[in-house]
Every structure is written in C-alpha cells, then in structure tokens.
Amino acid sequence: MGYKNLQSCVADLERHGMLIRIDEPLSLNMEVGAVQRRVYAAGGPALLFTNVKETAFPLLGNLFGTLERTRWIFRDTLDVIESLVRLKLHPMEALRHPLKFRGAPMGALHLLPRRVSGGPVLDCIISSSELPQLVSWPRDGGAFITLPQVYSESLQSPGLRGGNLGMYRVQISGNEYSPDREMGVHYQIHRGIGVHHREAVERGVPLPVNIFVGGAPSMTMAAVMPLPEGMPELSFAGLLGGHRVPMVTRAGGLPFPAQADFVIRGTIDPAKVKPEGPFGDHLGYYSLVHDFPVLDIKEIFCRRDAIWPFTTVGRPPQEDTSFGTFIHELTGELIPTVLPGICEVHAVDAAGVHPLLLAIGSERYTPYNPLSEPQELLTQANAILGHGQLSLAKFLFIAAREDNADLDTHNIREYFTHVLERVDWRRDVHFQTMTTIDTLDYTGHGLNRGSKVVIAAAGAPRRSLEGTLPAQMELPAGFRRPTVAMPGILVISGPACAARKKQGGDPDIKELCRVLREHPLPEACAMVVVVDDSEFAARTEENFLWVTFTRSNPATDIYGVGAFTESKHWGCTGPLIIDARTKAGHAPGLEEDPAVTRRVEELAAQGGPLFQVI
C-alpha cells in the first residue's frame, strides 16, 4: 500500500507508461532543467535521466508534473485522507455511517513513525561535491537542491511533535561556501525552522539539521504541506504514504528516513551566515544575493541505487503548481474549520502564489438588514492575513457568498467581474503599510518588507462592466496602447519607470490620474493597470495576473482618480490605478540560455528522445 521508496515508484510509473528514460548525454548545467520545463509544459511523463554527464547518479524530473499523475501516485491512500477530512467536518457521521469510514482507523495507525536500526540510505558515504551539481538558470549563483526535505526539531521540545519538515532552498556550491564542508539554507519568513533557529540563537548552540532527498514520494509532498500546528509532517507522510515511516537515528542525532535516497547531516551555527543566491524562483524572477544560515556538513549518506529527484522553479505554472492544486484538493474543505466564515481561499498560482489571494467569505453580522457594504468580510480578511503563510499575501480580494452562491475563486475572470461590479473605491480599499511580505518579493521597501491591501466587495452591483475599449480616451504623453484585459480592466503601456517610488508618488502616474479626472473614463472602466507592455499583459489571463501582482507594492503602487484621505482612510472617486511597471530594484526576470533552448529543440526533432513528447 503506497510507495515506500522512490525506486518502487519509478518502476511502477515505467510499467504503466507514465515515465520515460532519457539516455541522451545531457549536462547538469541548465540542460536537464530546460528539458524538464518543456516536458512539464507539454503535460508529459515523468523523466528518468540515465546519462547525465557530470554525475554518477540518475536524475528524476517531472515526477509530479501533472495533477493526474500526482493523484495516481497516492491513489492507495486518498480515500483514507478524504474520510479523515469528512470526520473532521462531520464527526457524527462516523456513528451514522460507520462503513464509510472503515479505512480511517487503519490510516491513523500510520501517523507514528517507527524506529529502525538501519536501512538502504546507509549503504554509502559520499562528499557534497559528489551530489548532482544542478544549475537551472543562467544567473544562478551555484548548484541547488530543488526538492530538499529539511528536518529540524525544537530544542525546547525535541521529538516528533517538536519536529518540522519543510522544503527550504539549499545551495550546495558556489559563492563563499567551503567545498564539501558547507551549504546554504535559505528559508523564508513564517517557516517552522525559523522558530527552531531562534531557540538555537537564544541558547548560543548549533541547531542540528538533516536534509533528506528522495525516498517515499509522500515525504516530498509532506515537506510542502501547510499543516496545522501540532500535526507533524512526518505523521502526514505516513498517512499519505500508507505506511509508518521508518526512521534511523545515529549517535543521538536527529532521525532520518531509512528509505531516503540521500541524507545530509549537519548543524547550523547560530552566529554564521553567508551570501546565498541568486536563484531563479517561483515568482518568475531571480531572488538575489542575501545572507542566510550556513549548514556545516557532518556526513552524507546515500543508497547504492540512489536516484536524485529534482524540479525546476520558475514563472508559474511549473511542477510545483501540481503541489498547490493537490494540497487544495486534500485540505480545501477544511478552510471554514480553521477560518470561521471563510468559504474559499485561493492563492493564485499564476501570480506567484503569495502576491494574490482571492477569497469568499460570509456576511452574518446583520442578517435583518439588506447587505449593502462589507462588514464581517473585513474581520475575515484580517483573520486570513494573520494565518500562517497566508500572511505573506500582498493583495487580498474578498467577496460575500450571499451575493452569489455559485461564485468560484478559481474562475478568475468571473471572480474579478463580480468584485469590480460591486466595489466602492471610496470605501472598500484597506491598506496595511510597513509590514511583512514574501522573502522572494522585491517590490517592497526591503527584504521581507512591504505592504498589503484588502479589497472587499459586498452588496448589489454598482456598475455594469464592458469588455471593449472606451470610444474616446485621453492619455498623457508616454502612455499608449490601451487594451482590455478583463471586463472593466484596462491595461496601458506607460513610460519607463527608472526609479523606485519616493514620497509623494510617481509623477507620470499622478499626471495620468489628473488627465483621467479631467476626461473621465466610463463607469464601466473600474480599474486601470499601467505596465511596460500592454499587449503582453493583456494577451492571456496568466500574463495579466503575473505582471500586475508580481510588479506592484500596494502602498506605493496603488493610485486612484480623484484620490483622497479622510480620517486616515484612503479612497478614490474614479477608477483604481495600479502601477505594475518594472522599477529599479526589482529582480531581473528569468530567461533561458538560447544555446540550451536550441539543444532541447534538437532532442524534440524526429528521431530524438523527446520526439512527440514536447
């Protein structure tokens, strides 16, 4: 039941035609990554690279490259997890229909890892320079582990319940790292390892950390799960994998999976940091060089038949999109139990996940009065922005279920139309300034620092939206090519923005506001987004979401026609304007090396290993 290791999963996928072998000699330097990205984009199979030039280990890519394959990998346990979710939502159902939940007790038996004295992971001892030195993008600062499972435990409460398994970026070469002795550990804010690191800093002692690579597929999925506090990721890995996870402990150190492909054991010195990065990341840009903790390597184990799983991180959608969708399928129904009154929360993958949340809440404060403006929605918005990794969001749109029982946050166009029909820009825009944002987001005023905005909409429609350009439109010099991105949303190419925003705002956007006040747009135009290239931004829904929300910081980049501040509340009488142009200080976007792209195209030609695959 379930896969206990990566080898059995690979063999099963190959038997069922879901995996192909790539025997063509390829390089770790961008080539295997470029192949994986192209096969993912084509909805293709998992890939086992058997002849990678710079390493003795085979590499596994695109394992979770489709949602269908991800579901298939965990097919033996999904019914059990669904039963446990239903029990959480409706506990009395077990008494009324016990046969529906007969698998739940057996699943619960898999929550507790079991200790073993040894396992295949102890077959070999290697150095870090023998690990596959995978480089994904031209400007990456070195080689990175892209699917690491980083395990630490609380120094105050060691053991399973005090453990954290997370997927934090690990740089294994480059920059100032001592070869075979050090690695960089890049973890973002609001991550469990940060609590453990803080305890080590306060005590002045090293923090033991183990990094697992490979092993049971359930271990990889558990490392990215946003689990509630009190549920260890190792327990979820057992539940999803259909077996108790066998763990080895050596010389009093932290445990590690007996079936892992690689285990890196080490400690983080609380006083030591070194430059880490750049790295092509999931927002579609490079996260730049910053100081992060350093892992001092103690030893590295690996299986004799070890496989190195990897992915490529880049502008979404990428393979990690399947993670997010699969997680939503497993846990989406639990949202109301964690955030009362909330019906849905959608972290929009096309916008880089953290920059944009779409939510549906409930208005229950005054059921005896007609719904006319957001009330409880604002309370619920604050709850969302105070909950776990949702707190990293920059833009949160929230609507009331009472206005449309069929509203779906995953139907982006319909959702934005619903909100923009109802929003009152004089009242419904609520800022949080000088706060925290995603570590990888460079639109704010510093690392981890930026702003947030809640846009809440409730009540009857205020305007009808159109999907066509206004018949007449006056624009200042430098603004051109207005295009409709969605009903009620115009995107306009603006003049190049050479500097970050200063106090008082950008003069070009202020001039746009002035002109649009003197020559008003129709009421049907509710929002204007200024971009570098309106044709690109409006070409697809994905382009619009990516450009708009990864290139803007609410406090400095939101303007409005007829803007005013009253009792410290900001609003505007005309359309809302978002400046989503590229600005100084933003991270550069990701682009492939043309020579690497040509090499992949050659593999896709007739007779090549990727012919009719991409």
Q: Give the pLDDT confidence of 272-293 residue by residue, as tens digits.
A: 999 999 999 999 999 999 999 9
- Cα–Cα dist 246/253, whole Å: 16
CA distance 140 to 136: 7
Residues 608, 272: Cα–Cα separation, whole Å: 48
Domain 6-310 has CATH 3.30.300.340: no
For residue 379 the two structure tokens come to 């309370």
DSSP string for 7-29: HHHHHHHHHTT-EEEE-S-B-TB
Q: Does residue 239 sit in helix, strand or coil?
A: helix
Q: What is the mean pLDDT of each run of 10 residues along the chain (614 residues)?
A: 93 97 96 97 97 97 97 91 65 49 64 93 97 97 97 91 92 96 90 89 95 97 81 90 93 92 96 95 95 96 98 95 88 81 94 95 82 90 91 96 95 98 98 91 90 96 91 92 96 86 80 96 96 97 98 96 97 97 94 95 91 90
Partner residues linked to 210 by β-bridges: 151, 265
DSSP class of residue 559 equals E
Residue among 287, 276, 140 nearest 586 (CA) = 287
State residue 94's pLDDT score. Answer: 44
Q: Tell me whether strands 207-213 and 262-276 are parallel, antiparallel or unpaired.
A: antiparallel
Q: Report the predicted TM-score, pTM, of the whole model to 2 decimal places.
A: 0.93
Residue 331 pLDDT: 80
- pLDDT recorded at residue 461: 95
Q: How far apart are CA 354 and CA 335, in angstroms?
A: 17
CATH class of 339-457: alpha beta
- Cis ω on the peptide bond leading into residue 278 (within 30° of 0)? yes
Type of residue at 604: A
- What are the structural domain ranges in the chain? 6-310, 339-457, 480-579
State phi, psi for 598 to the nearest 5 degrees: -65, -40
User: Which amino acid, residue 199?
Assistant: E
Q: What is the pLDDT of residue 229?
A: 64
Q: What is the token pair recorded at 71?
A: 């579901």
Name which of 328, 435, 332 is nearest 385 in CA terms. Answer: 435
pLDDT at position 2, please? Answer: 87
